[in-house]
Structure 1
Amino acid sequence: MRSRHLLCLLVGLMVLSNGFAPAPATADTPPSQPNILFVLYDDLGWGDLGCYYQNESKHDRTHQTPHWDAMAAEGLQMRNHYCPAPVCAPSRASLLTGVHQGHASIRDNQFDKALPDVPTVASVLKDSGYTTALIGKYGLQGEGSNAETWPAYPTKRGFDEFFGYVRHRDGHNHYPADKWPIANGEAHANPVELWHNDEEISSQLKGCYTADLFTAKTKQFLVDHQSQSADEPFFVFLSYDTPHASIQYPASPYPEGKGVKGGVQWLGETDRMINTVGPIDSYKHPDYANQGWTDAEVRFATSVRRLDDLMGDLLQTLRDLKMDENTLVVLSSDNGPHSESYIRNVNYNPTSFQSYGPFDGMKRDCYEGGIRVPTIAWWPGKIAPGIDRSASQFHDWLTTFADLAGATVPARADGVSLAPTLLKTGEQAPPTTYVEYFNGGKTPNYDDFEPARRGARRGQMQAIFLDGYKGVRHNIQSHSDPFEIYDVANDPGEANNLAGTSAEMDALQQRMHDRVLQVRSNNASAPRPYDQAPIPADDTLEANAPMVVTYCPSETSVVSRLDPAQSTEVDIKELDVDEAVRTAGKGNVRVRSVLNVAKTGRYEVRLTATGDAVLRLHDAALIDTTGQSNTEASVEVTLEAGTHPVDMIVRLAGNDSVPALELNELPDASQKSRQPAKKKRNSK
């Protein structure tokens, strides 16, 4: 028997017609939209920065990063910033689309899968007047063979210009035009493709080391932009492919000087595209060449030092162009450190320099070494020097950049603006920091790691930050599996598992079990053992709480968060709902209500609306039709009996019909109740 609860949530919410419409408020326009340069390294460990770990390390091998250290001394060190997943493709996808891995369409190890056609950080800023460019590694293009046929090519996802590697595997090689004779296989030995907009140009890049190439191209972009479009803001995503994969040496010493007149330079000539062309894979940094280290260790340290020099070069370029005081520069890494060389019969491990810092875990682990990434925000005169230890994550950057740019935030975005943390203004909204990931391997058997997790199976993994603690679990078999709970502020190595040690921790264990089901939605391409667990109710809600409707008349191309300065709460008690919606103008409307579920079971949630919509139950985005129209969308979900908060935003196109939300009990509804967390006491 099918029961139906019809919520005409959406409402005549817009009381807009017949004189009920609120007078649009005038939004405050930022006095100046900042330029934004986001620099993402590939597999750079938290412990690889001198100021984070190397300078104080007691290890027998260390390397130096003087320019990052200088940048850190002038900016904000975000020492508890996290990637969305401990591998590159999902991390970059979450960064670009502003959603965490509980809502992303690219998860686990889905390399080269097409980035969905939804708002990206580039398109959001482009719509706000920014010139946008992606320089470097991508790997989110989808099936195809060229710029025309790849469905999610960067210029189809908000970037005005693209220069770099399209395919994931191409980014393993750092000399795109040259054969590398010592590689461990043909895939890493042969030349690969590198694209500039709609042209494949690798044949022009003889002797070009990609870290130098991408930096020189970025510097040239900055010079050209200043001379041609100085009044327009820019967003550049500089996405390095190093120090990941093939640990190849640069082709020459670093050029004298830095900035506009020195350092790496763009020449633009075939076979001499940049000024550091030379014998490939040849230059060892002299600080490391005679230390008695292995060749692999010298290679890794040299590549990291090269990236450090390049950052100093970029910052000096901004100073030379007098752009530094209106440019926010953020550096970060897509995940923890790697263990690969791609050299025949040569191994490299992050143990050489303890690239994971004081943590356990590395790339593909959800322990701190795999997901906590080095992050610095630099903006002279705006960001005060300091250290921030609050948790935040990649998906917060889209919201942050939109906030700083005065741009509209898509309703599908999971992030909060970090501007209060960066600028020390206002109150910082607490971010959601959440990770889920699958890998079939094991955590390495490194002596630096806790004995209990050496060689431990990874499998399905999950991490949640809640109430100042981190919950993490590996090799999950069912939702009832307990979280290990750590106070990472005082126990960065995650040595003292607090789960089961007190009634307080037992309560936190249950809240973590509940919370991870309330912040995510299922994805058929990445099934999880907890997909069918009932979403817990919130017993603090009033079953008869009144519906709250807010309307914002501003027109947007996609369903967007409502600007508080232009929004008005609507009194719908006396409205003719059908008439109000039909005569309402364009805009976005938000409806918050409480859904009462009579019994635990399986349900269909169905939304009918003429505009695109995002519907969240708790914080789980169950329905997201961003970019679609004339929509009827549904999702099957298991709900626990009780009260559930509904938060829905719908974009009105004008002359709409009343959007409707239905909850239909399915015939095979499960009778499962909330699964209690198993208690597991710390044996250490």
Structure 2
Amino acid sequence: MNAKYWLRASVVLLAVGFNALSVKAQQKPNIIFILTDDLGYGDIGVFFQNQRKASGDHSQPYELTPNLDKMALSGARFTQQYANAPVCAPSRASLITGLNQGNASVRDNQFDKMLENNYTVASMLKTAGYSTTAIGKWGLQGVKEEGPDWPAHPLKRGFDKYYGYMRHSDGHEHYPLEGLYRGKKQVWDNYKEVSAGLSKCYTADLWTAAAKKWIIDHKNGKEAAKPFFMYLAYDTPHAVIELPTQAYPVGGGLKGGLRWLGDAGHMINTASGTIDSYMYPEYANATYDDDHNPATPEVPWPDTYKRYATAVRRIDDAVGDIRQLLSDLNIADNTLVIFTSDNGPSIESYLPADFVPNHPTFFGSYGPFDGIKRDCWEGGLRMPTIAAWPKHIKAGEVVNTPSMLSDWMPTLADAAHIPAPARTDGVSLLPCLTGTGKQKQGLVYVEYFEGGKTPDFKEFEPGRRGRKRNQMQAIRMGDLVGVRYAIKTADDDFEIYNAVNDPKEISNLASKPGYAKIQEAMKAKVLQVRHADAEAPRPYDTVPVPADKVEGRLLPGLFWEYYAGKFPWVAKTDGLTANSTGTSKNITGNEAGHKPGMVCYHGFIKIPADGHYTFSLQVSGKAYLRLHEATLIDADFGYQPGTVLTQTVNLKEGAHAIALYYLLPESGMPKVTLKCTDQNRIDISGKNLVFFSH
């Protein structure tokens, strides 16, 4: 799409600071992103549970998710979407910022760490004219402050409205006022703590009722002409496996289902009866063949699993309720709804000792894979993702494209007819969802540290039962996934599996003929896609980044592309068509003359010898610099023009890919100063900027 067309068709309001809503902006879809907590790929009917039911094997208990199955049949399901990390905080941060764990600021187990002050999916869509709201679990606010002083409160990260649990640990309890198993918790309405009025409010019901109320209010309010973005983040089925108070209210949408009453002590229409009491009838009396012997009597499901299945079914009912509301309000056709989870299923239940442990083996919650939450095996990372958008996504679509949660930020930008910020690592999935355009290949990359072990489940492959985790990595190349556990050095070999033909990762291909080059490529790639973070140290942080293997004759200079228009940020160029292109031996910003827009430079820098090199960047306007696929210098959000930013990196000798995105200043002369100095402070950048002749 041409940048001028983008400006003309969708973002006319840029010129007036996005304060007015254009006619075309009304055609942007509403977006509801539903994120569950610790829900496994295998917990959903269409992904795995329906297979267990169809088998007729009474030793395989199964869950029911009729509304999510219906959503998948009317839209698309992703069979190969990955979480960015196998635990909630870094996974959710990557989703919200569009960054993989190689570039993210929230990594490992940094619960409640402040989400960096930069572009988020909410601030991006807000800039494009959306009303934005977050409901449910946050956990990225910053740990010491409270209320208005939280540095990364959702209202400070692009959301107009917030209602939910702010702290990570609050999401471990699902009755905030009673605190039945984990103590009382706080619920925040923007900056006001409101838990005192939430007697008998089961959080899955509370967040659903709040979501419905917000949608109805928006539809009837003064901003009804605006599209909306809702981030609905459930804290179930994670942590203490509690039950709701009663059956899900009949019907759904405007006339039934959950309703917000707004009365203290009776806030929602299920805030009555007995807390932690209701089980779905299908589960309350369910039995199974526990000894794999049809001749012996079946035994009842343990209460732990009746509870777990009920928690999952409650979310399923909520999704059906919300989708019915969209139909009742006549906005379903223009609303993109995405449903997924943050990581694989958990082994935790937080129930008293007389309950049986919560083992994901009971339902096969990890699906046809091995691994659970905190594992970098497929079971810890594959997400049960469904997207529905009537008249845009074909019913029953199956998306086999490998992708990550961080791909949703550029996807939603694409749906909203705006370019994503250049710092985002993902790619738009709209082409594979809608069948329009060519799908760009994305990157599946995970790094994570956790000191525990993969559970010793007999259902898992013998080689990974009880296996120590420590430093872990996973990278996907085509159908092949490389996995490393307990990494000691950058030279440690990856186990290599065909994730499509061997989803359980049984046959390690690493030692097979022809895979030595794949091993070498994986070891190089995982160093090129990331930068070190002092708060999440890795054993390969100081290893020199390998050079690219390039073919063709290297010539001096860089390729450049000019994109006309008025951009709200330094932008990704995916889906845009350059107005002019060329090559230049120097970076000036004047390649296209003094026109508004953005110039992007691509090429290589030739490093003469192994060592540490310092890059410095100073621009009028704003810019963003990548080295390979890693963020090197971000001179965009909050950047003061003329400021010199530097970054030092350890590089191997050879040609290293660089990309500089330069957003031209609105006034004054373009000016770009990019330098690279070696350890002797000698500037090598001039004669060492090269491009290869294709």
Contact 2:3 2:565 in 1 (8 A): no
Corresponding position: 1:329 with 2:337: yes
Q: Find the counterpart in structure 2 of residue 37 from structure 1.
A: 32
Instruction: Give, in angstroms, the shift of residue 543 of structure 1.
Output: 2.7
Q: Find the counterpart in structure 2 of residue 93 from structure 1.
A: 93
SS at match of 2:361: helix
- Paired amino acid for 1:400: T
Instruction: Give, in angstroms, the shift of residue 522 of structure 1.
Output: 1.2
Instruction: Give, in angstroms, the shift of residue 656 of structure 1.
Output: 4.7
**Identity over the aligned pairs, expressed in percent?**
45
Going from structure 1 to structure 2, the CA distance change for 1:370 and 1:574 (only over 3 Å counts) comes to closer
Q: Find the counterpart in structure 2 of residue 482 from structure 1.
A: 493
- Paired amino acid for 1:315: R
Contact 1:329 1:377 in 2 (8 A): yes
Return the alpha-carbon distance in structure 1 between the equivalents of residues 574 and 594 of structure 2.
Answer: 18
Going from structure 1 to structure 2, the CA distance change for 1:165 and 1:33 (only over 3 Å counts) comes to same
* Root-mean-square deviation (Å): 2.2
The C-alpha deviation readout for 1:214-239, integer Å capped at 9, x for no partner, is: 01111111111222233210000100
Going from structure 1 to structure 2, the CA distance change for 1:586 and 1:174 (only over 3 Å counts) comes to same
Instruction: Give, in angstroms, the shift of residue 568 of structure 1.
Output: 2.8
Q: Find the counterpart in structure 2 of residue 289 from structure 1.
A: 284
Contact 2:3 2:578 in 1 (8 A): no
The C-alpha deviation readout for 1:567-623, integer Å capped at 9, x for no partner, is: 433557699959x49994654321112211111222222222244322111212122
Return the alpha-carbon distance in structure 1 between the equivalents of residues 61 and 267 of structure 2.
Answer: 35
Structure scoring higher RCO (CA < 8 A, sep ≥ 6) equals 1
Give 1:442-481 correspondences, 5 Å limit. 442-481=453-492
Return the alpha-carbon distance in structure 2 between the equivalents of residues 390 and 576 of structure 1.
Answer: 37
SS at match of 2:474: strand
Of 503, 510, 519 in structure 2, the residue corresponding to residue 509 of structure 1 is 519
Instruction: Give, in angstroms, the shift of residue 556 of structure 1.
Output: 3.6
Contact 2:588 2:670 in 1 (8 A): no
Give 1:200-239 correspondences, 5 Å limit. 200-228=193-221, 229-239=223-233
- Paired amino acid for 1:616: R
SS at match of 1:502: coil
Return the alpha-carbon distance in structure 2 between the equivalents of residues 642 and 583 of structure 1.
Answer: 33
Return the alpha-carbon distance in structure 1 between the equivalents of residues 499 and 194 of structure 2.
Answer: 46
Instruction: Give, in angstroms, the shift of residue 520 of structure 1.
Output: 1.2
Return the alpha-carbon distance in structure 1 between the equivalents of residues 230 and 83 of structure 2.
Answer: 19
Of 253, 261, 275 in structure 1, the residue corresponding to residue 255 of structure 2 is 261
Of 655, 658, 665 in structure 1, the residue corresponding to residue 671 of structure 2 is 658
Contact 1:459 1:475 in 2 (8 A): yes
Name which of structure 1's ranges 148-157 and 513-522 shifts more when overlaid on structure 2. Answer: 513-522
Instruction: Give, in angstroms, the shift of residue 388 of structure 1.
Output: 1.6
Contact 1:471 1:485 in 2 (8 A): yes
TM-score by length of 2: 0.88
- Paired amino acid for 1:262: G
Return the alpha-carbon distance in structure 1 between the equivalents of residues 433 and 141 of structure 2.
Answer: 32
- Paired amino acid for 1:118: N
Give 1:32-181 correspondences, 5 Å limit. 32-57=27-52, 58=57, 59-180=59-180
- Paired amino acid for 2:9: T
Going from structure 1 to structure 2, the CA distance change for 1:202 and 1:574 (only over 3 Å counts) comes to closer
Return the alpha-carbon distance in structure 2 between the equivalents of residues 219 and 43 of structure 1.
Answer: 23
The C-alpha deviation readout for 1:75-112, integer Å capped at 9, x for no partner, is: 11101111100000001100000111100000000010
Q: Find the counterpart in structure 2 of residue 539 from structure 1.
A: 549
Contact 2:80 2:402 in 1 (8 A): yes
The C-alpha deviation readout for 1:360-401, integer Å capped at 9, x for no partner, is: 000000000000010001111211122122210011101010
Name which of structure 1's ranges 347-356 and 165-174 shifts more when overlaid on structure 2. Answer: 347-356
Q: Find the counterpart in structure 2 of residue 4 from structure 1.
A: none
Return the alpha-carbon distance in structure 2 between the equivalents of residues 52 and 407 of structure 1.
Answer: 32
Return the alpha-carbon distance in structure 2 between the equivalents of residues 559 and 565 of structure 1.
Answer: 13
The C-alpha deviation readout for 1:494-531, integer Å capped at 9, x for no partner, is: 0000002012x111111111111111111111111111
Name which of structure 1's ranges 62-71 and 123-132 shifts more when overlaid on structure 2. Answer: 62-71
Corresponding position: 1:645 with 2:676: no
Going from structure 1 to structure 2, the CA distance change for 1:609 and 1:491 (only over 3 Å counts) comes to same
Return the alpha-carbon distance in structure 1 between the equivalents of residues 502 and 446 of structure 2.
Answer: 19
Of 375, 391, 400 in structure 2, the residue corresponding to residue 381 of structure 1 is 391
Return the alpha-carbon distance in structure 1 between the equivalents of residues 576 and 550 of structure 2.
Answer: 29
Return the alpha-carbon distance in structure 2 between the equivalents of residues 96 and 411 of structure 1.
Answer: 15
Q: Find the counterpart in structure 2 of residue 500 from structure 1.
A: 511
Of 312, 322, 336 in structure 2, the residue corresponding to residue 304 of structure 1 is 312
Name which of structure 1's ranges 399-408 and 562-571 shifts more when overlaid on structure 2. Answer: 562-571
Return the alpha-carbon distance in structure 2 between the equivalents of residues 414 and 267 of structure 1.
Answer: 42
Name which of structure 1's ranges 464-473 and 623-632 shifts more when overlaid on structure 2. Answer: 623-632
SS at match of 1:241: coil
Contact 2:625 2:660 in 1 (8 A): yes
Name which of structure 1's ranges 615-624 and 70-79 shifts more when overlaid on structure 2. Answer: 615-624
Return the alpha-carbon distance in structure 1 between the equivalents of residues 249 and 585 of structure 2.
Answer: 73
The C-alpha deviation readout for 1:312-348, integer Å capped at 9, x for no partner, is: 1111111111111100101000000011111221321
Q: Find the counterpart in structure 1 of residue 688 from structure 2.
A: none
Return the alpha-carbon distance in structure 2 between the equivalents of residues 443 and 157 of structure 1.
Answer: 35
Instruction: Give, in angstroms, the shift of residue 27 of structure 1.
Output: 4.1
Q: Find the counterpart in structure 2 of residue 8 from structure 1.
A: none
The C-alpha deviation readout for 1:608-654, integer Å capped at 9, x for no partner, is: 22443221112121222332223322222121111112101123333
Instruction: Give, in angstroms, the shift of residue 250 of structure 1.
Output: 0.4
- Paired amino acid for 1:494: E
Return the alpha-carbon distance in structure 1 between the equivalents of residues 582 and 465 of structure 2.
Answer: 59
Of 263, 272, 277 in structure 1, the residue corresponding to residue 266 of structure 2 is 272
Return the alpha-carbon distance in structure 1 between the equivalents of residues 41 and 625 of structure 2.
Answer: 36
Going from structure 1 to structure 2, the CA distance change for 1:408 and 1:252 (only over 3 Å counts) comes to same
Return the alpha-carbon distance in structure 1 between the equivalents of residues 677 and 419 of structure 2.
Answer: 34
Corresponding position: 1:632 with 2:640: no
SS at match of 2:472: strand
SS at match of 2:247: coil
Return the alpha-carbon distance in structure 2 between the equivalents of residues 375 and 575 of structure 1.
Answer: 46
SS at match of 2:155: helix
- Paired amino acid for 2:279: K
Return the alpha-carbon distance in structure 2 between the equivalents of residues 467 and 265 of structure 1.
Answer: 46
Count of aligned pairs between the two proteins: 639
Instruction: Give, in angstroms, the shift of residue 439 of structure 1.
Output: 0.4
Q: Find the counterpart in structure 1 of residue 691 from structure 2.
A: none
SS at match of 2:148: coil
Instruction: Give, in angstroms, the shift of residue 74 of structure 1.
Output: 1.0
Return the alpha-carbon distance in structure 1 between the equivalents of residues 311 and 592 of structure 2.
Answer: 61
Contact 1:24 1:566 in 2 (8 A): no
The C-alpha deviation readout for 1:164-189, integer Å capped at 9, x for no partner, is: 01110011111111131xx3xxxx1x
SS at match of 1:631: coil
Contact 1:603 1:639 in 2 (8 A): yes
SS at match of 1:51: helix
- Paired amino acid for 2:604: V
TM-score by length of 1: 0.90
Instruction: Give, in angstroms, the shift of residue 52 of structure 1.
Output: 1.0
Return the alpha-carbon distance in structure 1 between the equivalents of residues 534 and 621 of structure 2.
Answer: 25
Give 1:294-443 correspondences, 5 Å limit. 294-345=302-353, 346=355, 347-384=357-394, 385-443=396-454
Give 1:484-633 correspondences, 5 Å limit. 484-503=495-514, 505-541=515-551, 542-544=553-555, 546-562=557-573, 567-569=578-580, 571=582, 577=588, 580=590, 584=594, 586-627=596-637, 628-629=639-640, 630-633=642-645
Instruction: Give, in angstroms, the shift of residue 66 of structure 1.
Output: 1.0
Contact 1:27 1:565 in 2 (8 A): no
Return the alpha-carbon distance in structure 2 between the equivalents of residues 573 and 634 of structure 1.
Answer: 23
Return the alpha-carbon distance in structure 2 between the equivalents of residues 48 and 467 of structure 1.
Answer: 26
Going from structure 1 to structure 2, the CA distance change for 1:332 and 1:518 (only over 3 Å counts) comes to same
Return the alpha-carbon distance in structure 1 between the equivalents of residues 577 and 363 of structure 2.
Answer: 52
- Paired amino acid for 1:341: S
